[in-house]
Amino acid sequence: MADTEPSAAANCVERLKTYVRTRKGTILAVEIILSFIMLFCYAASHYGGYSAVPICGLIFAIIFFVVFMMELDKQLLVINWLWTDCGRAGIGALLYIITALFCVAGGSGDGARIAGGVFGLIAGLLFAYDAYLSFMDIKNTGGRSAASTDDRV
C-alpha cells in the first residue's frame, strides 16, 4: 500500500517555502545571503581578520531562521524570542556597520576588502531595519512572546 502521509523532508521544504514568503523570512534569508557573500569577500582579501563578523552573523541568522521557520519559538517558551531577535539584529547592525566602515576606509588596493565593506554596509542597514521591525513588534505586544495556542500543553 502506498504511504499517503507526506515525508518529513517534503514538510520541511513546504515550511521553508512558506516562511521565506513572509517579511521576517525574507529579511533573514537576505541576511544569510549577504553574510555569506561578505565571508567570501573578506576571505579573499589580503587581511581576512574581518571574517569573524559575517561568520557570527551567518550562524545566528541561520539559527533564528530555523527556529522561526519550524515555529520552535512557540514551543521553547523559556526564551523571549522577540527580545533575543531584537538584540541579535541590533548588535549585528552595529558590528556590521563599524566593520564595514573600517574596511571601506582602510582597504585601498584590496578590492575584496572594499567589496566586503560595501556588502557590510548594506547588511548593516538590513540588520538595523530588522532590529527596528523587531522593536516595533515588542512595542505592539508589550514585550511578550505570542502565547501558545496548542491544546497539548
Extents of the domains making up the chain: 12-140
The H-assigned helical ranges of 21-153 are 23-44, 52-69, 81-106, 111-141
Closest CA to 53 of 9, 117, 115: 117
CB 28 within 8 A of CB 61: yes
pLDDT at residue 6 in the model: 64
Closest CA to 30 of 115, 127, 106: 127
CB 96 within 8 A of CB 70: no
pLDDT at residue 152 in the model: 44
Q: Which residue type does 106 have?
A: G
105: cell is 576606509
Taking only the tens of pLDDT, the chain with its 153 residues reads: 455 566 777 788 899 999 999 999 999 999 999 999 999 999 999 887 889 999 999 999 999 999 999 999 999 989 999 999 999 999 999 999 999 999 999 878 889 999 999 999 999 999 999 999 999 999 998 877 554 444 444
Considering only CA atoms, give the Rg of the chain: 18
CB 27 within 8 A of CB 92: no
pLDDT at residue 145 in the model: 59
CB 89 within 8 A of CB 128: yes
pLDDT at residue 10 in the model: 72
Residue in the structure block whose three cell numbers are 504511504: 3
- What span, in angstroms and rounded, lies between the C-alpha atoms of 69 and 108? 41
- What span, in angstroms and rounded, lies between the C-alpha atoms of 85 and 98? 20
Q: Which residue type does 124 have?
A: G
- Sign, CA torsion 136/140/145/151: negative
